[in-house]
Structure formats: structure tokens, C-alpha cells
Structure 1
Amino acid sequence: MEARAASKPLKQAYAKLFTSGTTVSRLRDAALADRLFTSDTLEIPGRSLAWKLFLLPDEPLQPLADTEATPPLSSLRESRKKWKHLISEHMRAPDGSYEDGVVPGSSLSERRASTGDLETNNPLSLHNENPWTEWFASVELRKTILQDVERTFPEIVFFREPEVQLQLTNILFVYSTVTNPAIGYRQGMHELLAPLYYAVDYDSVEETSELANDPAIQEFCSRTSVAADAWALFEAVMRGASRWYEWQEPPAASRPPPSSPFATHVNIPAGPVDIKPYITPVVEDCNRIQSNLLRSTDPLLWKHMQAAGIEPQIYGIRWLRLLYTREFEMGSAMKLWDGLFACDPTFELAPWICVAMLIRIRNELIPSDYSGQLTSLLRYPSHPAPDGPHHTSVLLRQALALQMSPNQATGNSLVLENRNFLNIPTEVPEPPPPPQRRGARTVRDKAPAATGPKASDPRQQSTQQMGFDFARGLLEKGESLGINKTIMSAVPEFRRNLSELAASFVRSPTTPSFPMEDERLPEERPPWEPKSRLEIEREIASLQSTNKRLGQSLSWAVDILLRDEAEAKDLLHLQKSKREALEAISYVRDVLTSNLTQIDEERLFGEEEIAKRKKAAEHKSNPSNSSTVHVPHPAALTPVPVADSRPKVVPVAPPPPGPIVSSFSAPPASPNAAQSPTSPSIAPWHYTRSNFGTGNLPSASLPRVPPPTSSTIRRPAEPSREPRAPRPAPPPRAKSQTEHDPLGVL
């Protein structure tokens, strides 16, 4: 769809701007007062002509106030010539060819340059000076730009045309790589360029149209120069808006050196070392809008936004970078641009427009919380003016008033203007009541669950009876005192609800209890909410279980590695076991370093140990097969000398009946104190089971006899005991025998 301005309205707009004898200052005032273009539609003839007049002056300095408006043809001719040179030089491949449509109607697209040396000028060459490397990088950048261009204003059919998307991509590519490589391409530039290109294309004149006889209009609105004129307007707009797209700190060579009054007298650096972090200009402007400008003009609104925790970058970056094209409709945004380009092409007024926009929606921001304020800021509500000037014109005048007089009185006058022109009330509405939490019920809703036929708890019945007695006594006391009937009419209702209220505070033992779990799944909660206590306990339990299994594996591996190969009967079997132990240790290392959640039990132990554990598990699951578990002595399987220091498995005798006493706890006062019914029982978590002497280190292989530290075995007092030499290991005994525990740790 190619919409073009009609010849007659375009000629009238040209005459109004350049042939009526009007000065530039009057045209600027007319654009600011909503008299230049009264409509807010997209198709307005002559809009691009006014933008060229405001943004492309022939002189480098601003024109005088009484200067007559003339078309800036010299600036257009220079910019068109420069555009043609840039597009022909920087859009050409190293072999001299162009992509289709880059240079339309030119013979350059068919020209081929000599390739020269194929080692350096070759698409497949890896040479450092290969020009094709830079070309391929530019092609990738063009693809990235095209992805954003294809999403530009999807509701407007004009921007879906392939020719329009190609020209928008070319303009953005030339701007980001040739004229402004320090900034490059950033998202949002395509939404600034799109309205400019649309206005220039709408006012373009074909060579065969009715206006071909007028050479001034034909040259000023040439159809073949739409891309060049749009690029010139975009360059002019970005001279004021480029600071909002800067993303990195400029190099030190481009920054002015700091000065110091002592630099000429003392041989020290010119200024102090700047250690402050770099803050982009757009972030500085956003902070200034909310912290300084809004605070000085509307302190109440600033206070509520600060209390809610709204960061100015959330809304300010989009407002400034896109020049309000997302906050207003396309036609209204372009009408706002008419006055902004006319009164301030440098965009120093843009932050004050943001302040005026915040004051306009103060009734939505003040009573709202964080989410409500964020919704209003990111989805700016529309306030169409029923009569009078357009709401964008009112916004521009309010921004100018704030810029000239930034105080609270000016902010109050803006509130009154919004009431007069936009019917926005001056009174701030009350905040809405907090929403009721899901699952919350009243006392009356909970009462039937506790006072039903199954509520047979005697404590609950006594509480109900106490409530009835209290209500009955209150009624009798009121009658004796002569309380009026109005008050007494509320007593029966109070008596009916008192029992239910009392019953709601008593939990019946028959009522099932459920763990307090979060109703939402963990993946549905936002990342800033902490985990519940139940989830943390589950994670800790899982971690403890994993550590226990890893510890058992390491204990088994250490026992295997401590065996002596010189005294082994089956050397191959022992070497295989040690290799399995090393593999188990390496697997434990991998589990601990990579935080694995699923552990392969087969890799924690050797084949023989796994078979033993499976057999023990089967025996534990079927206790009817045998009432007593007998652990064979290792000496019965493999004879071991007495001097052997390897860990051996010693049969463990069952503990004697009675309470378990830890060696780390205080012994009872008397032998019968443990069985005393009045003595406090020892909690199970106070008992620390020791593995000393349970089979890993038999007492026979110790260099000395361990001291008697057990508190469970009581021996008669002896006057003195001489240290004895270690006695030899006892011979193997039958399976039915039990071994005496000399240390008393079992």
C-alpha cells in the first residue's frame, strides 16, 4: 500500500510554509499552538516539509526571529549527494557488486571490480587483511537490523512493504557503521526512523505527477530522494537523541583532562583520580527526572513513587529513546513531534515533557502500589481532549512552563489545566482496599467444621459450656441493671456466635493436620521469593542422605586401600578391589564437584561389596528366614597373622538389654539411676555411636590397651593396675558365640 499526498493539498501546504511571506518564528509558534496541522492523523500533507524546515536549516546558526521561511534546498542537495556517496562506497562488496535494491536505477549494481590477489581478496581466505571478513560482519549486522525493522509498528501496513524495510535497514546501517560507529546500532532507533520515513514518503512527488511543472516542489519532494531525505532528518534528530543511546564510556583521549589550580606549581597530575563508575547519560537523565525535576514540582507524587520503589529507568529510558511513540498513538506522537521539532530541536525539553506526563497521571499513581504504578507507566493511559487544543499541545506548553519555572506552584497550575482541558479531577481518589487473600475464611465459615457431629473433644465441649455460661450470666446481669432493649437485642446474636468463636480457637484431635505447604509450585513462584521451610528441610534431608552414602563409599574405599599387598593371599583380587576403590573415590569427587543430584549406587562400591549389601538388604526385608544375623570372622575365610595391621571385620555382639548410654554424657549417679522412673530419659540425638572397635580396628592389633572409658560397664575398684602387653588375637570362635566388649561402646 503506497499512500501519497494529493497534489492540491501538498501544493497548498508548500505555499503556506514558503510562499506566504510567513517567518520561521511564526511557523514555530503555530506548530506549538496547534495551528500548523490541526489533525492528528497519519496522512497530513506537508508535515515532512515543516520538519525539513525546522531540522535542516541552511545556515549552521539558528535563523533570526524575523527571517522569512524558505525551503532548505542547499542542505537537501548536500545531504543527498553525501547519501549517494556513502551508499555506493560502504554497501559495495569487495568484488565490486551490490545487493539487489541497494542502489536502484544505477549502473554500479552491475559493475564488477577486479579481485586482485586471491590470497587476500577471497571469500574463503583466512588472511588477516581479507576484506571479505568485514563484509560478512556488515551482512550479519544488516540481518540484525532487519529483524527489528520487520517488527516496526505492526499495525501499520506501510512498514510491511519489502522496499520500505530495505530502505530503513540501509539508513540504520549507514548511520551505525559509517557516521556514528562509536554508538553503533541500538534497539529503538528503528522506531525513531519509521515516522520520519513515513512522512517523507507520503509527501514525495513522482516525476510524472501534476506537480512536475513546479520545479521547486519537484526538487524539494523528489520521489527518488526519499531515503536520502529520511536519512538527513534522522541524522538531525539523533544529534539531540544520540546521548540516550550511548552505552559505553568514551575513550580517555576524547574526554577533557581534569584541571587543578596546583598543577602549575607542583609536579603532580592535573586533577584527582576519577574512581566513580561510569553512568550512561540516559540513566542520569532518568534519575534527574524523578529525583530532581519531579520532586521540585510535585513533592506528593514523588513521595509516593519513592515509597513504592519505582525506578525511573523502567519508564524513562523508553520515553526518552523513542520520543513517546509507545505512549501515544502514531498520529498523536507525530503531532507532538511537530511542536517539539519547532521549539526545541536539541530535545532539552524532553525531560520536562516526562515530568508533565507524570503529573497528568498522578491520580493513577498516588493511590496505587508498585504493580499499579508500573502498569500506568508502561501502559500510559490516554486522555483525549473533548474540546480545545490537542492533548499533546497542552503537554508541550506545560513542559515549557515547568522548564521556565520549576516549582510547586507551576505543578499545581498543571493540575488545574488538566482539569480544565482534559477533565481530569484535581482530587486524588482513595486507594483501593487490599485484596482478600485466597483461601481466607471468616469465623462463621470455619465454625461448622469444628462444631459438627464429629466434634466430640471434651475440651471443646467445656469451652462451649463456658461460653454459654458467660453469655447467660451477662444476660441476667443486664436485666437486673435495666439495660435498654436495643442493647439486649444484640446479646442473643452474641450468645450464638460466642461458642463458634471459642470453638474456632480449639483444635480437635480428630481433625487431620496437614503440613503448611505453598499452594504454588516452585517453578511458578517469582525468583525473589524465598523458599519455604518445608522445601529447605527437604533439601537438607536429601543432602544429608547423599553425604551419608558418599561417606560410606569413602570408608569402604579407604579400608580397601589400606590392605597390604605383600600379605594378601589373592594378589589379583586385591588389586582389582583397590582399582574399584580408586574408581569409587574418583566418582565421589565428580559428585562433589559437579553437584549431581542422581547418584549411581553401582559406582560407589565394588562388585563384591555391592553383592554383600544386596544380600543384607534382602535379609532385612525378609526377617523370617533367620532370627539372628551371624557375621563370619575374616579369619575363617582368610587366615591373617597376628601382627597384621590391616582393618579386619570383628563379629559384633548384640548389646545387652537396657537403656543406651552415651560415653559423652554424664554417667548416672548410681547403678539403679538409669532404671529410675523419675530420671529423665536421654534423647536419641544425644547418643553418638562410635565405630571404634567395631571391626575396622580390632583391639588385638593396637599398640597398647585403650583406657577404660566406658560408662556402661561397672568394675570393682582396684588399687592399681600395671600396664600389660598387648595380648594375641583370640582364635576363631563358633558363630553362636558372642564377643565381650572391653570398651563398652556398643
Structure 2
Amino acid sequence: MTASLRARVTVFEDVLSQEKIDFVKLQNLCFHGIPHESGLRSVCWKIILNYLPVKRKEWPMFLKTQRALYMQFLQELVFHPASAKGPHQTNREDVTFEDHPLNTNPESQWNSYFKDNEVLLQIDKDVRRLYPDMAFFQRPTAFPCHLLLDSTKGIETLRRRIERSSLNAVPVKSLRSGVNNIQHSEQTRKESVTGEELGEVHWEVVERVLFVYAKLNPGIAYVQGMNEIVGPIYYTFASDSQPQCQEHAEADTFFCFTNLMAEIRDNFIKSLDGTQCGIGLHMNRIYSLLHQHDSDLLLHLESQHIEPQFFAFRWLTLLLSQEFLLPDVLRLWDSLLADFHRFDFLIYVCSAMLLLIRDKLLDGDFPTNMKLLQEYPIGDVQAILTKAIELQEKS
């Protein structure tokens, strides 16, 4: 570690060691990047995502309470109705008599179970292929959820639920960017690493987080792309140098993801696309900035009928998580999550990405430019961030 990097890490450590953490100062530090070598990204993200309180003495009890609450969610929401007792059921015979798989009553546990399976299929398809360029999500976790592996609890793993149930393929609530409906097949299951000999792998943990979120938020449930939002958070927590943080990465990820979704969930609701609080407003802001800083480039894109929704929808909705390798995404998210006006800076980042490839866009035809925008060519995220800050200061 160089002297300058060591000095920067020391500044982070000093802020985090205070009895009451200066939230604004921490935001400012995170905005300019959390040194990967410091091992502090996990705790910093938990604070700036409004999960951990700023008073350090409150952390032990708070974490104990939240993690216990998440375990309660698992006990109540991840179960097979034939193996669990309902509120008025005392044994398995009563379950079979009062409720059965053909029961169409909306309050039937079986009816709810089958509807949940449709959501689970969507989640399962996506998380199995999360960050395919990395082996991490296909590797076994050192801290599997023993609660779900204990048959005496009447709870089954979601993997077994998928494998055991005869589930038909269902349409996916896709992103509104031309993503085709996804079909779940036996071949897909064979392609992914799911052997029992591996134990519980990391994508299964992500799957459970998303399933519990969908159950607790039926208004939005699960929409394709949420897996790309939870992925970087879980990776950060599960890769923490502290074993205790790794052990509770699932619960901490759930609450941080829930907090983050509370801020960006409008992006996943199609009915809000054309409103003043939907994704459409943010996409238009990118072209407004482009008009302010490079009207020639904007006119060129408009002359080719390249609308912002063709590329910016994915950029904004997924917080650029699909445009770069995961280490670069983590650096970008340091700035995006620490933004004093959360995600306002994202608009400048997206505009900077356009300006940094302006010459290629001006020379390209429609097919060439669409490929550039959907397979962004610049991997130097620091150059993008520097340009974004420059645009922000000029605006």
C-alpha cells in the first residue's frame, strides 16, 4: 500500500472510529472512492444506505435485532405449506383436510404457494446467471443458512422447491428495453452449478433475498433487473474481510437492498414511465444535459432517431451495473450511493459517458452507434467520473 493510499485509508478509519460518525464527511469521502484495499466498503455502504446508525454504540443491538428479524422472515415466508402449520392447524392431517393444492380460495396457503412459484421462477432464472464473468456467485458460501437446511423446521431450500415442483414456464416482467420473455427449462438448470455436493452457493443466497423481498412487497414483487441491483451489495458484504460480516451478509444485504429499492423502485414500475417521478423524466434529463454541453452530438443522435430509452433506460434503472465489470461497478457505486442528492449524479455520469465517445458517435451510423451505446467501450471509470464531476460543476 502506497503512502498516499495509506493516508487515505487512515482518514476513513478516523471517521469510522468516532463515537458518532460524521455522516456528511463520510459521504464526501465515499464519493471520491473507497479504497478497495481498506476493506471498509462494506461498513461504509451500510452507513450511507441508512442501514447502520451513525452512533457506533448502537450497532451491536441494532444488528442483532435486524438479523433476528430477517431470520423470522425466512421462517414465515420460505416454506412448503404441506410441511408447515397454519394459524388454525394443529397437524398435517388438518392441513390436508382444510387446505389442499386444488383450493382456489385466495387465502389458501397452497394457492399462494403456486403464485409464489411464478415469481420464484423469474428470480431463479436471473440469479443463476448473475455476473457470468465471475466465478464468485457459483461458488459455495462458507456460511450457508442452516435454518433452511434443517428438515426438522419444516422448511425447504428454494433450490429444492424449484427442482421438486412441476413448474411451467411463465412470462417474465421484463425491463421495458426489448428484453424477451425468459423460459425456464431443464437445460437451463443443467447449465448452472447446482450440485448438492457444493452445498449452498452464493446465487442461492441472492435468490432468497429477492424472494423474501417479493413476498414482503407484493405491490412490485420482482421485476427482472432487481438481481443486478442486489448483486453488488451482496458481493461487497459476502467478501468482507471480517468473518462475522460474511456470516450475516444475507440479512444485511436484504435490508440495504430494501432501503435502496425504496429510493429507485419507481424505475421498475411501468405505469410511472411517463410521469414526473418515473424513469422517463430521468432519461430526458440526460438529453437536456447533452443539449447544454454538446448540441451537435445531440442533433446527430436525434437525426438517427436514437432515443434515450434505447440505452439510458438500462443505464439508469440498473445503476450502470451491466455496463462495466463488477470491480468498476463497485467504484461507480461509491459515488452514486454517496451522492448528496441521491442519483442526481447518475445523470451526469450517463451524460459523461456519451461525451467521452462523441467522436465515435458522430462518425457512426445507426447500427454502429446502437452497438456502442449498448456495449459501452470505455472501461476507465475514473475518466468517466472525472468528466461527470466537470459537467456537474459547469451546470
Structure 2-normalised TM-score? 0.72
Alpha-carbon deviation of 1:50? 1.1
Structure 2 stretches lacking a partner, 5+ long? 1-8, 140-199
Aligned equivalents of 1:28, 1:249: Cα separation in 2: 30
The 8 Å contact of residues 332 and 392 in structure 1, kept in 2 or not, is answered as no
- Alignment-derived partner of residue 85 in structure 1: 72
Higher helix share goes to which structure? 2
Q: Secondary structure at the match of 1:374?
A: helix
- Alignment-derived partner of residue 99 in structure 2: 121
Aligned equivalents of 1:313, 1:120: Cα separation in 2: 50
Aligned equivalents of 1:28, 1:70: Cα separation in 2: 20
Q: 1:197 aligns with which of 231, 234, 259?
A: 234
Cα deviation 1:398-453 (Å, max 9, x = unaligned)? 35325xx2xxxxxxxxxxxxxxxxxxxxxxxxxxxxxxxxxxxxxxxxxxxxxxxx
1:146/1:346 Cα in 2 relative to 1: closer, same or farther (>3 Å)?
A: same
Counterpart AA for 2:218: P
Q: 1:376 aligns with which of 364, 372, 375?
A: 372
Alpha-carbon deviation of 1:200? 0.3
- Alignment-derived partner of residue 400 in structure 1: 392
1:383/1:138 Cα in 2 relative to 1: closer, same or farther (>3 Å)?
A: closer
Cα deviation 1:469-524 (Å, max 9, x = unaligned)? xxxxxxxxxxxxxxxxxxxxxxxxxxxxxxxxxxxxxxxxxxxxxxxxxxxxxxxx
Counterpart AA for 1:24: F
- Alignment-derived partner of residue 165 in structure 1: 203
Alpha-carbon deviation of 1:187? 1.1
- Alignment-derived partner of residue 23 in structure 2: 24
Counterpart AA for 1:394: T
- Alignment-derived partner of residue 264 in structure 2: 241
The 8 Å contact of residues 289 and 354 in structure 1, kept in 2 or not, is answered as yes
Alpha-carbon deviation of 1:163? 2.5
The 8 Å contact of residues 18 and 71 in structure 1, kept in 2 or not, is answered as no
The 8 Å contact of residues 284 and 308 in structure 2, kept in 1 or not, is answered as yes
1:185 aligns with 2:177: no
Q: 1:323 aligns with which of 319, 322, 334?
A: 319
The 5-angstrom pairing of residues 369-448 of structure 1 reads 369-382=365-378, 384=380, 390-398=382-390, 400-401=392-393, 405=395
Aligned equivalents of 1:69, 1:303: Cα separation in 2: 52
Cα deviation 1:127-179 (Å, max 9, x = unaligned)? 5653211112212321221111011111111111342122111111111221x
Aligned equivalents of 1:368, 1:240: Cα separation in 2: 36
Q: Secondary structure at the match of 1:172?
A: helix
Percent pairwise identity: 26
Q: Secondary structure at the match of 1:286?
A: helix
Superposition RMSD on alpha carbons, in Å? 3.3
- Alignment-derived partner of residue 116 in structure 2: 138
Aligned equivalents of 2:225, 2:289: Cα separation in 1: 25
The 8 Å contact of residues 339 and 396 in structure 1, kept in 2 or not, is answered as no
1:12/1:87 Cα in 2 relative to 1: closer, same or farther (>3 Å)?
A: farther
Deviates more, 1:135-144 or 1:278-287: 278-287
Aligned equivalents of 2:93, 2:47: Cα separation in 1: 45
- Alignment-derived partner of residue 252 in structure 2: 229
- Alignment-derived partner of residue 214 in structure 2: 176
Counterpart AA for 2:315: W
- Alignment-derived partner of residue 150 in structure 2: none
Structure 1 stretches lacking a partner, 5+ long? 1-10, 99-111, 207-217, 251-276, 406-746
- Alignment-derived partner of residue 522 in structure 1: none
1:51 aligns with 2:45: yes
The 8 Å contact of residues 266 and 272 in structure 2, kept in 1 or not, is answered as no
Higher relative contact order (CA 8 A, sep 6+): 2
- Alignment-derived partner of residue 4 in structure 2: none
Counterpart AA for 2:264: A
Larger radius of gyration, structure 1 or 2? 1
Aligned equivalents of 1:313, 1:289: Cα separation in 2: 11
Counterpart AA for 1:52: K
1:118/1:312 Cα in 2 relative to 1: closer, same or farther (>3 Å)?
A: same
The 5-angstrom pairing of residues 605-644 of structure 1 reads none
- Alignment-derived partner of residue 286 in structure 2: 289
Structure 1-normalised TM-score? 0.40
1:358 aligns with 2:336: no
Alpha-carbon deviation of 1:93? 2.6
The 8 Å contact of residues 70 and 251 in structure 2, kept in 1 or not, is answered as yes
Counterpart AA for 1:321: T
The 8 Å contact of residues 55 and 345 in structure 1, kept in 2 or not, is answered as no
Aligned equivalents of 2:325, 2:202: Cα separation in 1: 21
Counterpart AA for 2:108: N
The 5-angstrom pairing of residues 667-682 of structure 1 reads none
Aligned equivalents of 1:246, 1:79: Cα separation in 2: 28
Alpha-carbon deviation of 1:126? 5.3
1:310 aligns with 2:347: no
- Alignment-derived partner of residue 345 in structure 2: 349
1:70/1:396 Cα in 2 relative to 1: closer, same or farther (>3 Å)?
A: farther
The 5-angstrom pairing of residues 595-614 of structure 1 reads none
Cα deviation 1:171-202 (Å, max 9, x = unaligned)? 11111221x22222111111111111111011
Aligned equivalents of 1:398, 1:14: Cα separation in 2: 25
Aligned equivalents of 2:113, 2:221: Cα separation in 1: 16
Cα deviation 1:538-574 (Å, max 9, x = unaligned)? xxxxxxxxxxxxxxxxxxxxxxxxxxxxxxxxxxxxx
Aligned equivalents of 1:302, 1:92: Cα separation in 2: 53
Q: How many residue pairs end up in the alignment?
A: 323
Cα deviation 1:314-349 (Å, max 9, x = unaligned)? 101110111112222211111011122122473232
Counterpart AA for 2:232: P
Counterpart AA for 1:45: G
Counterpart AA for 1:308: Q
- Alignment-derived partner of residue 160 in structure 2: none
1:280/1:340 Cα in 2 relative to 1: closer, same or farther (>3 Å)?
A: closer
